[in-house]
Structure 1
Amino acid sequence: MSSQFFITVKYGENEQELFNPHCRSLLLLECIREKCKRSETEILDLVDESGQIANISDEENLTEYASQFVEGRKSYVLIKVSKSDSGKEPNRYESLLENLEKTNPELRDRLRRMSKPNQQVSTKDKKYQSARKRGTGNQSQKVKSAKRNSVMKI
């Protein structure tokens, strides 16, 4: 099995591009910025269609391989992140894929709620956020076995 894989980034008016995330996050973001014609002043990131933000634009993640934060053969929506000056306000997330309300209204709503956490959060979103914090969900995790010093999928 090859360790090389690609992701699809959706943006603009139903446009999409393929990217190889087997590089540093900073380099991936530069390639995305160039191909998707985005300003150097914008903070860009990716969100999967279920609302999970990749956080490749976080300062501590820029030197890490982007493949740690995204899953191969998966589609992501390009988003713009607006960070508050004070640090007290939550980040604001804006989809750079036009007509998101028609193509994926649940993702649009989730991005809005993450940008304004004071709004009422539904029970479904609370369960989703709780599962994400525990690391459960549909992603397989790797755990190192202490006895055999091997990696097992759970």
Structure 2
Amino acid sequence: MFITVRFGEKEEALFNPNCRTLLLLENIKQRCNCAEDVDVDLSDNEGNVKHLWEAPLRYANEVLKERETLVLVRVEKNEGSQKPHYIPLLNDIQAIDAAFLARLSTKEHSGSGSAKGSRRKHGKKDASNKSSRPGVKSTTPTGRKGSKR
């Protein structure tokens, strides 16, 4: 699995998202020649930010699609506002148009939070359904306990 990150003067680089988002973003910053003190994230070609920097221990391949092409964006956190400001780090007037910038600046974070929550709940549910007692079946997909045969 790989993703393509677009940055700079119409440059592209391939990355493996089968790692924690913290490691992926650090590798992207290094290979895309970003300063160490800059916070970065990724957005799709429509300007939808992926919010990878908010969950540094989550695996990036849970959020990103295989062979997805993404745009590198800088995250600027404003002191007076809860919502960060995103600046594309790609110089391509065909890709970074007014519609992209409008979507990038107005995109709310609430949509990605629900996906994170649903994945966590699902993971906890699966972990709690496993029984450590031998001879006892785990729950069925409907949540009912299976009987011993």
TM superposition score normalised by structure 2: 0.69
Q: Percent sequence identity over matched residues?
A: 32
1:95-117 CA-partner distances (Å, limit 9, x unpaired):
00013x43241212212334xx8
* 2:6/2:90 contact within 8 Å kept: yes
Match of 1:103 among 92, 95, 114: 95
Shift of 1:130: 9.6
1:30 and 2:22 are equivalent in the alignment: no
1:83 and 2:71 are equivalent in the alignment: no
Shift of 1:51: 2.1
Are the structure 2 counterparts of residues 131 and 81 from structure 1 closer, same or farther at C-alpha, using a change threshold of 3 Å?
closer
Q: Residue in 2 aligned with 1:139?
A: none
Q: Residue in 2 aligned with 1:63?
A: 57
Matches within 5 A, 1:16-55: 16-55=12-51
Alignment RMSD, CA only? 2.8
Runs of 4+ in structure 1 off by over 6 angstroms are 129-135
One-letter code aligned to 1:102: Q
> How far apart in 2 are the matches of 1:44 and 1:23?
16
Segment drifting more, 47-56 vs 29-38:
47-56
* 1:55/1:69 contact within 8 Å kept: no
Identify unmatched segments of 5+ residues in structure 1: 118-128, 136-141
> How far apart in 2 are the matches of 1:55 and 1:26?
11
1:92 and 2:88 are equivalent in the alignment: no
Shift of 1:132: 7.6
Are the structure 2 counterparts of residues 83 and 66 from structure 1 closer, same or farther at C-alpha, using a change threshold of 3 Å?
same
Bigger Rg, which one: 2
> How far apart in 1 are the matches of 2:82 and 2:12?
31
Q: Residue in 1 aligned with 2:130?
A: none
* 2:49/2:104 contact within 8 Å kept: no
Identify unmatched segments of 5+ residues in structure 2: 116-121, 126-138, 143-149
